[in-house]
Amino acid sequence: MTVFKPILTHSKLFSEVESDLYCPILEGCTVQELRTGEVVITPGVINRHIHLVLSGALTIHLGQQESPPVGQVGIGEIVGELSLIGHTVTSAWVVCAADSRLLVIDESRLWRLIDQSPLVARNLLQILTGWILAVDGHVLEQRKQIEMLQSLARIDALTGLFNRRWFDESLARMLALQHVAHPVTLILVDIDHFKKFNDTYGHPGGDQALRFLAKVLKSAVRLHDVAARYGGEEFALILPGTPLTSAVHVAERLRQAAMERPVETDDGQPLGAITISLGVAESIPHMTPEFLTRAADDKLYQAKREGRNRVCY
């Protein structure tokens, strides 16, 4: 162990530990020489050793060996301690990131070190804590990414409103929970002559019109309402616990707000104004989402037949 003494002295495991204590115990340990890409530890096996890096570097991978590393182990650091101490199977891949030399410390020697030096026990505890915190941080980051993807999966990218899938799920959920005294009211909204607007101002102008109407809808919704892009230039507003008369007032405010000012470009240049047609329908007990949507859609087409820019219910 004399040749490795400078590395061991600066190792986290033997920090502040007298070399006269650990060198005799480590005599006879195997030194592994591994090439870049060779696997040190595979998941799902019983582990009876820890590996201390004498030269080179290792990477740790969760899930698949080819997955991005969640940690790197450098000279003087160890791997394998978590599964050994916890008497659990290994949970990660440990791979050589460079040609490496590893000191293999078996379980019996590790326990002798711990028995003879409280400092080794303290150092090992600190190492274990560091890895646990690192893994927890990685899991938390993965959870944040999952939540972000879930959020993206329910949001329409162009308008920032909920998408059709979320609308369908929300309407079904709200109808299942509705009380006879608190109906669910649905408003379907369609931009009048949208194709003409799109042809006049191009697709960027049409996109601006859709964003503009989305802002109008957002300004009208309460925290528990759902405003969604239903498809194309058609939008939907679910108002739980709202009777028909109140929903009609909301629809009329939306209609007027859409006419108040023209659609603008991102830099504030005015385009043409739009009008909207709206159909409103109120649920009854045991009504299916399909039936309520069809009822609101019928009223929307009635508004279009009667000249557009109006609310029908």
Label residues 241-262 b or e (16+ Cβ within 10 Å = b).
bbeeeebbebbeebbebbeeee
List the structure tokens of 23: 């060198």
The pair phi, psi for residue 287, each rounded to 5°, is -75, 140
Q: What is the dihedral of CA 248, 260, 200, 159, to 10 degrees?
A: -60
Give me the DSSP letters along 126-161: HHHHHHHHHHHHHHHHHHHHHHHHHHHHTB-TTTSS
Interatomic CA distance for residues 162 and 156, integer angstroms: 6
For 248-306, give the DSSP string. HHHHHHHHHHHHSS--B-TTS-B-----EEEEEEE--TT--HHHHHHHHHHHHHHHHHT
Catalytic residue list contains 233: yes
Pair 109, 26: CB distance under 8 Å:
yes
- Summarize the chain as % helix, strand, coil (round to 5): 45, 25, 30
Selecting among 81, 233, 234, 282, the annotated active-site residue is 233
Mind giving me the DSSP string for 194-219? HHHHHHHHHHHHHHHHHHHHHHHHHH
Q: Are 79 and 73 in contact (CB under 8 A)?
A: yes
Strands (E), 11-155: 30-34, 39-41, 49-55, 58-61, 71-73, 78-79, 93-96, 100-106
- Residue 256 near residue 216, CB atoms below 8 Å: no
Residues assigned a catalytic role: 233
